[in-house]
Structure 1
């Protein structure tokens, strides 16, 4: 094999492998959450539980962000690690319209286990955790944090 062809094959292999980021698992509806769907977006990752009063209060705020903010993917994670039908029922009971991950992304993003709920993480479009927000959040407050982080 000639050197230019070998170099081209190596380059294509590297590009292919870099584009093959690991997917995020399935959501509460059993649909795959792929890396391609989230690529280039900021992520808001919110940990919630059915028994958490402030979690219940902030869900409409997060629903509004998920519906209106372009370039922001709102993802929920159930603190109690519910899966399958239990996760779907809990999300429906709380009125969650955004996607809820069945698999906790804590290891992937190197997040510590939180001692309090709710907790929300803002992850930039390069996959770097930029901020940890503890306690009940509002859409307006999150937008202020995002504007500041994007301006840094």
Structure 2
């Protein structure tokens, strides 16, 4: 095989591997997941049928993450059709996470996450990152950056103003 054909075959292999990797990352987002919060309670997507589910990845050193927490907590308290699950990532000690939860009186479940849990949901380019699931258990999309209570409510109500908020 000549050099041009070897390079062409190599690039085809690289592109195929990239495509497979992207597809498998997307499939991980669509799969049923199970998360255990810091108190030992288990949350499985398939068991949340009939509820909207917002999985919010955050870090204790991230000011925008902490700024959005009161709004997410208010949503959790006000809406019986919504479950907010916070997943703490990129922390050094558990106390960093519990201090933030205590300081801001967060009542929604918090998972002590890690890179494996984060990678199950897909690539995250920044913090916070949120994934919204419909009451049918289907991924509506993900959002990079902080969210307000109003933005999440608009996305759930499927208001046109929120159409681009969560991207597939």
| TM-score, normalised by the number of residues in structure 2 | 0.62
Q: Using the alignment, how far apart are the partners of 1:40 and 1:85 within structure 2?
A: 34
For residue 23 of structure 1, report the CA deviation from its aligned partner: 7.4
Unaligned 5+ runs, structure 2: 1-31, 160-168
Cα deviation, 1:31-61, whole Å, max 9, x if unaligned, reads 3335675232110110100010100100000
Aligned to 2:51: 41
The structure-2 alpha-carbon separation of the partners of 1:35 and 1:115, relative to structure 1 and needing over 3 Å to count, comes to closer
Q: Displacement of 1:101 after TM fit?
A: 2.5
Once residues 126 and 118 of structure 2 are traced to their aligned partners in structure 1, the CA distance between those partners, rounded to angstroms, is 20
Give unpaired runs (5+ residues) of structure 1. 1-21
In the alignment, is the contact (CA less than 8 A) between 1:119 and 1:134 conserved in 2? yes
Deviations 1:84-134 (A, max 9, x none): 777545533453211012467x87996313020111111012221102122
What is the aligned partner in structure 2 of residue 63 from structure 1?
73
Q: 2:84 pairs with 56, 70, 74, which one?
A: 74
SS of the residue corresponding to residue 157 of structure 2 reads: helix
- State which of 136, 139, 151 in structure 2 corresponds to 1:129: 139
When the two chains are superposed, the root-mean-square deviation of aligned CA atoms in Å is: 3.2
100, 103, 109: which one aligns with 2:110:
100
Bigger mean CA deviation after superposition, 106-115 or 95-104: 106-115
* Closer, same or farther: CA 27–83 of 1 in aligned 2, 3 Å: farther
Corresponding residue for residue 129 of structure 2: 119
> Structure 1: how far apart are the matches of 2:59 and 2:104?
9
Name the count of aligned residue pairs.
129
The residue number in structure 1 matching 2:158 is 148
- Alignment-derived partner of residue 52 in structure 1: 62
